[in-house]
Chains A and B, each alone.
Chain A
Amino acid sequence: MLADGAVSNLMAGSDSLVDLHSAVVERARAGDTRAFERLYREHSGRVYGLCLRMTRDADVAADCTQEAFIKAWQALARFEARSSFATWLHRIAVNTVLARRRQPAAREESLDDAVGALDTELTFDSPVEEAELETAIASLPAGARDVLVLCGVYGYEHREVAGMLGIAVGTCKAQLHRARALLRERIERGVA
């Protein structure tokens, strides 16, 4: 059954959908697998999209997605309700992908941390074919690709991405700078 507070939150007017989501999370935390399935249905697309872009392999991405949700279920008791469930879930997914790669977090190239605050958005002078862009992203080196996907596609801030990937914020900025340059170059060359 729903917790008192969660149910009451359903009445919170414009925030009712957010509160409803919180109620579902609470039910899942209490062991309700049906509630957890709802969370899976709601979040699996974004988690899979993230894993697919990071791994570049549909089967591996599906495995990582499945593993991430299993880990999330096992760790739900430690999830703090005041934080974003989606961000928490994405962090687990990123960790799962990184573990699959069996690469130490410190492998990142040592690039200049003094790149400065970069705009995480990347726009193109003329529209690019979606598939072409995805292929160009997939062609990037892993470190640059991870940062580009998390910052550029999923909109996370450098601080969040650095935390997810276990790298310094400066490294994150440098990787994004590198990724953007490589991406522009490859799209212009028609690498896709």
Chain B
Amino acid sequence: MNSSGDRVGSLRELPQSITPPRDLWPGIAQAIAAPRDRARSTTRVLGSLAASLALVAVGILLGRGMQPAAVSQPALVQSSPAYLQAALRANPRFARTRDELRREAAERLLAMSPAARAKVTASMVTLQRSLVEIESAIGRQPANALLQDLLVDTYQEEMRVLATVAGNRQEL
């Protein structure tokens, strides 16, 4: 079972965690995928709506102070952690794609009804607040891998939202 050779003085000193002999996640992922796929067909519409709502807010935020010439340097990049900014700078395709999506999304926003635009704005504010809070948390715990994952996830979510609102279904 455990042949580490360590000596212990009590049961509590035994390791509670033992690494499984193989990675069990692939089997778990396969087992849980099917039901979720079925559910996803129902939730996809709602998800798209939420994404659309969130994206409209991006357009609102962009439209608020958008200068066509300034699009190449989005405000989001300026507020991103240093490592993320560096990553974005190192990947001009990512930044360019995001800029294009933002422009397209902003155009689509203009065509939306005021009510839809308001909903999207509210959702997008939430998304932006999430980013700020996560970045702030990372500032306190720079080495926290889970926080970094959350940040990346949230940026990816933003990109999905942008793609949805812009009418571009391409996954990045």
Residues of A in contact with B (beta carbons under 8 Å apart): 1-2, 4, 7-8, 10-11, 16-17, 20, 23-24, 31, 33-34, 36-38, 40-41, 44-46, 48-50, 52-53, 58-59, 61-62, 65-66, 69-70, 73-74, 121-124, 126-131, 133-135, 138, 148, 152-155
Could you tell me the distance in whole angstroms from the C-beta of A109 to the nearest C-beta in chain B? Answer: 21
Please determine whether A46 and B16 come into contact, CB atoms closer than 8 angstroms.
Answer: yes
Please determine whether A11 and B150 come into contact, CB atoms closer than 8 angstroms.
Answer: no
Please determine whether A24 and B24 come into contact, CB atoms closer than 8 angstroms.
Answer: no
Please determine whether A2 and B18 come into contact, CB atoms closer than 8 angstroms.
Answer: no
B92: Cβ under 8 A from any A Cβ? no
Please determine whether A128 and B4 come into contact, CB atoms closer than 8 angstroms.
Answer: no
User: Which B residues between 24 and 38 are near A, CB-CB below 8 angstroms?
Assistant: 24-25, 27-29, 31-33, 35-36
- Besides A10-B133, A73-B32, A130-B14, 19 more A-B contacts (Cβ < 8 Å) are A4-B126, A4-B129, A10-B134, A16-B137, A20-B144, A24-B146, A37-B25, A40-B24, A44-B20, A44-B24, A49-B16, A69-B24, A70-B32, A74-B35, A121-B11, A122-B11, A127-B8, A131-B5, A138-B1
Main secondary structure of the interface of B (DSSP, over half): helix
- Contacts A49-B16, A70-B28 known; A16 to B21 CB distance under 8 Å? no
Could you tell me the distance in whole angstroms from the C-beta of B99 to the nearest C-beta in chain A? Answer: 22
Q: How many A-B residue pairs have CB under 8 A?
A: 149
Of all chain B residues, the one with the shortest Cβ separation from A126 is B9
Q: In the complex, what residues of B have CB within 8 A of residue A4's CB?
A: 126, 129
Question: How far is B27's CA from A65's CA once the two chains are assembled, in angstroms?
Answer: 11
Q: Which of B5, B12, B17 contacts A45 (CB 8 A)?
A: B17
Please determine whether B157 and A1 come into contact, CB atoms closer than 8 angstroms.
Answer: yes
Please determine whether B24 and A33 come into contact, CB atoms closer than 8 angstroms.
Answer: no
Q: In the complex, what residues of B have CB within 8 A of residue A46's CB?
A: 16-17
Question: How far is B145's CA from A61's CA once the two chains are assembled, in angstroms?
Answer: 29
Q: Which of A1, A65, A134 contacts B14 (CB 8 A)?
A: A134
Question: How far is B136's CA from A45's CA once the two chains are assembled, in angstroms?
Answer: 31
